[in-house]
């Protein structure tokens, strides 16, 4: 896991102060037991900073710019602006992208919005963008709760479209770019949709969707690093299993509620057979339910903290996200999934 934070400020003194805060705050906010959470990489220009904190294997950097996640073919094609340049193309993939120059800052979400990006204005007149909502609130110095987001959460399990827990902090929509430019009169901020050059599908059916998914996976260079595949036995994860035969080191994982471990008709039994047929190792992760009110409270607090109110599927994380702790410690670069987005 890694997070990035970008700041552009019209005041160099304020920028220096925020740089010191970033160095201290990221170490405090990132979970202490998270694999790779000790790494910090802060790069700055005259009026901008881009800091990356967390596991290095999921980060691509060039100058101050940073891409967290995985992208298909991030390298530039002929006559194309590179990914790390302001106004460059947005690579396909599951990623959050931050580009910077001395007087410009640009943040880009991927097509599905699989990784959240938040933004807010700073007291100095600058702008902060980050994949960590909590880090932005810490930089703002206080929390200004959005009561409408709480109402949304109580009724739907999410904070609602275009909202966050704090009135001042806004999420960047999926498939969008935010651009901040420092000019003579201050910092101007604009948002726009990312344009893609792909042709629309002629029709939607299972065969075409499967072919598209396999074609998309083939465009990624997964390298020699270990990866995990969340294999449930459903059609989406089966197709991903078929489309990832080019990955050298892939382990299939299935997590199941502890009350269903011995049930022969669950996802586990199907996933075991599929993994064996594909020649892939398979592991079972048991989601253990809280044993007491205090354990349930801890689990819910951790879920609310790390989900940011962007997903309502609390039952999959009712163990306090311990399964994801295990994934982090395993050394895997990432988890491939074909279902709900966490971000």
For 32, 102, 133, 164, 178, the CA distances from 85, given in Å and listed in that order, are 33, 12, 25, 29, 14
% of the chain with per-residue pLDDT over 70: 87
CA–CA separation, 337 and 228 (whole Å)? 9
Structure confidence at residue 341 as a pLDDT band (50, 70, 90): very low
H helix intervals, 166-314: 206-218, 235-243, 267-278, 293-307
Tell me if the pTM is above 0.85. Answer: yes
Please list, in sequence order, all residues whose beta carbon lies within 8 angstroms of the beta carbon of residue 227, skipping any fewer than 6 positions away.
Answer: 244, 247, 249, 250, 251, 332, 333, 334, 335, 336
pLDDT value of position 304:
86
Q: Which pLDDT tens digit goes with each residue over 14-40? A: 888 888 888 777 767 665 544 445 567
Q: Which pLDDT tens digit goes with each residue over 288-299? A: 888 899 989 988
For 80, 113, 133, 202, 310, the CA distances from 343, given in Å and listed in that order, are 29, 7, 11, 29, 6
How crowded is residue 161: how many other Cβ atoms within 10 Å of its Cβ? 8
In the numeric block, the tokens 């966490």 are attached to: 342
Q: Which residue spans within 110-169 are E strands per DSSP?
A: 118-121, 127-130
Determine phi and psi for 209, rounding to 5 degrees: -65, -40
How crowded is residue 180: how many other Cβ atoms within 10 Å of its Cβ? 24
CA–CA separation, 203 and 206 (whole Å)? 10
As a whole number, mean pLDDT of residues 231-256 equals 87
Q: 223-253: buried (b, 16+ CB within 10 Å) or exposed (e) per residue? A: eeebbbbbbbbeeebbbbbebbeebeebbbb
DSSP letter at 145? Answer: B
Structure confidence at residue 50 as a pLDDT band (50, 70, 90): very high
């Amino acid at each position: 896991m890694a997070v990035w934070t970008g700041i552009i400020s019209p005041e160099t003194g304020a920028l220096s102060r925020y740089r010191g805060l970033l160095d201290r705050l990221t170490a405090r906010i990132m979970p202490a037991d998270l694999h790779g959470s000790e790494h910090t990489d802060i790069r700055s220009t005259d009026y901008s900073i881009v800091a990356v904190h967390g596991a290095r294997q999921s980060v691509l950097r060039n100058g101050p710019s940073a891409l967290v996640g995985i992208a298909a073919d991030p390298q530039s094609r002929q006559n194309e602006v590179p990914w790390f340049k302001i106004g460059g193309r947005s690579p396909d993939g599951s990623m959050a992208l931050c580009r910077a120059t001395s007087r410009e800052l640009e943040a880009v979400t991927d097509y599905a919005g699989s990784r959240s990006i938040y933004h807010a204005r700073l007291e100095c007149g600058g702008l902060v963008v980050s994949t960590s909502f909590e880090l932005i609130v810490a930089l703002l110095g206080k929390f200004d709760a959005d009561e409408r987001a709480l109402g949304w959460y109580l009724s739907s399990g999410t904070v609602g479209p275009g909202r966050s827990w704090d009135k001042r902090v806004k999420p960047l929509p999926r498939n969008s770019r935010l651009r901040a430019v420092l000019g003579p009169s201050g910092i101007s901020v604009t948002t726009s949709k990312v344009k893609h050059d792909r042709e629309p599908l002629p029709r939607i059916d299972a065969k075409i969707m499967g072919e598209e998914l396999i074609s998309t996976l083939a465009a990624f260079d997964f390298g020699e690093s270990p990866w995990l595949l969340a294999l449930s036995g459903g059609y989406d994860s089966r197709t991903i299993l078929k489309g990832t035969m080019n990955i050298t080191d892939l382990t299939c994982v299935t997590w199941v509620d502890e009350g269903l471990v011995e049930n022969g008709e669950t996802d586990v039994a199907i996933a075991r057979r599929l993994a064996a047929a594909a020649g892939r190792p398979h592991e079972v992760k048991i989601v253990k339910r809280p044993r007491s009110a205090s354990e349930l409270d801890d689990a819910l607090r951790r879920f609310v903290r790390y989900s940011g109110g962007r997903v309502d599927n609390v039952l999959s994380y009712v163990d306090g996200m311990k399964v994801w702790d295990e994934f982090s410690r395993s050394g895997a670069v990432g988890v491939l999934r074909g279902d709900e987005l966490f971000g």
